[in-house]
Protein backbone atom coordinates (compact mmCIF):
# COMPACT_ATOMS: atom_id res chain seq x y z
CA UNK A 1 0.00 0.00 0.00
CA UNK A 2 2.89 2.36 0.75
CA UNK A 3 4.16 2.10 -2.85
CA UNK A 4 0.73 3.04 -4.18
CA UNK A 5 0.64 5.97 -1.74
CA UNK A 6 4.03 7.19 -3.02
CA UNK A 7 2.93 6.85 -6.65
CA UNK A 8 -0.28 8.82 -6.02
CA UNK A 9 1.67 11.52 -4.15
CA UNK A 10 4.16 11.78 -7.03
CA UNK A 11 1.29 12.02 -9.52
CA UNK A 12 -0.24 14.84 -7.47
CA UNK A 13 3.05 16.77 -7.46
CA UNK A 14 3.51 16.14 -11.18
CA UNK A 15 -0.05 17.29 -11.99
CA UNK A 16 0.46 20.41 -9.89
CA UNK A 17 3.56 21.15 -11.96
CA UNK A 18 1.54 20.95 -15.18
CA UNK A 19 -0.92 23.52 -13.85
CA UNK A 20 1.71 25.72 -12.16
CA UNK A 21 4.05 25.95 -15.13
CA UNK A 22 1.09 26.19 -17.51
CA UNK A 23 0.08 29.37 -15.71
CA UNK A 24 3.65 30.69 -15.36
CA UNK A 25 5.00 29.47 -18.72
CA UNK A 26 5.72 32.91 -20.14
CA UNK A 27 7.58 34.42 -17.17
CA UNK A 28 9.42 31.13 -16.61
CA UNK A 29 10.62 30.93 -20.22
CA UNK A 30 11.81 34.54 -20.09
CA UNK A 31 13.59 34.06 -16.75
CA UNK A 32 15.12 30.75 -17.84
CA UNK A 33 16.28 32.20 -21.16
CA UNK A 34 14.50 29.54 -23.19
CA UNK A 35 14.96 30.07 -26.93
CA UNK A 36 11.67 30.14 -28.76
CA UNK A 37 10.59 29.84 -32.33
CA UNK A 38 8.41 32.29 -34.22
CA UNK A 39 5.33 30.57 -32.76
CA UNK A 40 6.49 31.49 -29.24
CA UNK A 41 7.01 27.86 -28.25
CA UNK A 42 10.37 26.47 -27.11
CA UNK A 43 12.66 25.52 -29.99
CA UNK A 44 12.63 21.80 -30.62
CA UNK A 45 9.47 21.35 -28.57
CA UNK A 46 9.04 19.25 -25.45
CA UNK A 47 10.56 15.80 -25.53
CA UNK A 48 8.52 12.97 -23.96
CA UNK A 49 11.61 11.67 -22.14
CA UNK A 50 11.72 14.89 -20.10
CA UNK A 51 8.25 14.17 -18.74
CA UNK A 52 9.07 10.53 -18.00
CA UNK A 53 12.24 11.49 -16.14
CA UNK A 54 10.43 14.30 -14.33
CA UNK A 55 7.86 11.85 -13.01
CA UNK A 56 10.61 9.43 -11.97
CA UNK A 57 12.27 12.24 -10.01
CA UNK A 58 8.93 13.06 -8.38
CA UNK A 59 8.79 9.40 -7.31
CA UNK A 60 12.24 9.73 -5.72
CA UNK A 61 11.16 12.83 -3.78
CA UNK A 62 7.84 11.29 -2.70
CA UNK A 63 9.53 8.04 -1.68
CA UNK A 64 12.15 9.81 0.41
CA UNK A 65 9.56 12.07 2.00
CA UNK A 66 7.53 8.97 2.91
CA UNK A 67 10.61 7.44 4.49
CA UNK A 68 11.43 10.59 6.48
CA UNK A 69 7.80 11.01 7.54
CA UNK A 70 7.71 7.44 8.82
CA UNK A 71 10.96 7.82 10.76
CA UNK A 72 9.79 11.16 12.19
CA UNK A 73 6.31 9.97 13.13
CA UNK A 74 4.63 12.53 10.90
CA UNK A 75 1.00 11.59 10.36
CA UNK A 76 -2.21 13.43 9.70
CA UNK A 77 -2.98 15.75 6.82
CA UNK A 78 -2.03 18.98 8.58
CA UNK A 79 1.35 17.65 9.71
CA UNK A 80 2.04 16.22 6.26
CA UNK A 81 1.18 19.49 4.57
CA UNK A 82 3.38 21.55 6.91
CA UNK A 83 6.27 19.07 6.82
CA UNK A 84 6.11 18.92 3.02
CA UNK A 85 6.03 22.69 2.78
CA UNK A 86 9.06 22.80 5.05
CA UNK A 87 10.95 20.39 2.80
CA UNK A 88 10.19 22.57 -0.22
CA UNK A 89 10.89 25.90 1.48
CA UNK A 90 13.93 24.96 3.55
CA UNK A 91 15.65 22.15 1.63
CA UNK A 92 14.81 22.31 -2.06
CA UNK A 93 14.27 26.04 -2.64
CA UNK A 94 17.59 27.09 -1.07
CA UNK A 95 19.39 24.55 -3.24
CA UNK A 96 17.67 25.94 -6.33
CA UNK A 97 18.74 29.42 -5.20
CA UNK A 98 22.36 28.29 -4.78
CA UNK A 99 22.44 26.80 -8.25
CA UNK A 100 20.86 29.89 -9.78
CA UNK A 101 23.16 32.28 -7.91
CA UNK A 102 26.29 30.56 -9.16
CA UNK A 103 24.77 30.20 -12.63
CA UNK A 104 23.99 33.92 -12.78
CA UNK A 105 20.30 33.17 -13.31
CA UNK A 106 17.63 35.76 -12.47
CA UNK A 107 16.03 35.84 -9.02
CA UNK A 108 12.64 35.55 -10.73
CA UNK A 109 13.58 32.07 -11.92
CA UNK A 110 14.45 31.08 -8.36
CA UNK A 111 11.11 32.39 -7.11
CA UNK A 112 9.16 30.54 -9.79
CA UNK A 113 11.00 27.23 -9.42
CA UNK A 114 11.27 27.49 -5.64
CA UNK A 115 7.56 28.28 -5.45
CA UNK A 116 6.76 25.14 -7.39
CA UNK A 117 9.11 23.03 -5.25
CA UNK A 118 7.45 24.32 -2.10
CA UNK A 119 3.89 23.81 -3.32
CA UNK A 120 4.66 20.39 -4.81
CA UNK A 121 6.34 19.15 -1.63
CA UNK A 122 3.40 20.43 0.42
CA UNK A 123 1.03 18.57 -1.91
CA UNK A 124 3.13 15.40 -1.75
CA UNK A 125 3.26 15.65 2.05
CA UNK A 126 -0.48 16.08 2.21
CA UNK A 127 -1.19 13.12 -0.04
CA UNK A 128 1.30 10.90 1.78
CA UNK A 129 -0.52 11.48 5.07
CA UNK A 130 -4.06 11.13 3.76
CA UNK A 131 -3.87 7.33 3.39
DSSP H stretches of helix in the chain: 2-23, 25-32, 48-72, 77-87, 93-102, 107-130
pLDDT tens-digit series, residues 11-63: 999 999 999 999 999 999 999 999 998 888 888 877 899 999 999 999 999 99
Give the tens place of pLDDT for each residue, 80-122.
Answer: 999 999 999 999 999 999 999 999 999 999 999 999 999 999 9
d(CA 102, CA 47): 27
Q: Where are the domains of the chain?
A: 2-130
Q: At what angle do helices 107-130 and 93-102 cross, to 10 degrees?
A: 160
Using a cut of 0.95, tell me whether the model's pTM lies above it: no
Amino acid sequence: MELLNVIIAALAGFALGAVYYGILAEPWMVAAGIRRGTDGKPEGGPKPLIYVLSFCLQLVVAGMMRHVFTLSGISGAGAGLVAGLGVGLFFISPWIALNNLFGGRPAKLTLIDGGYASLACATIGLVLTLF
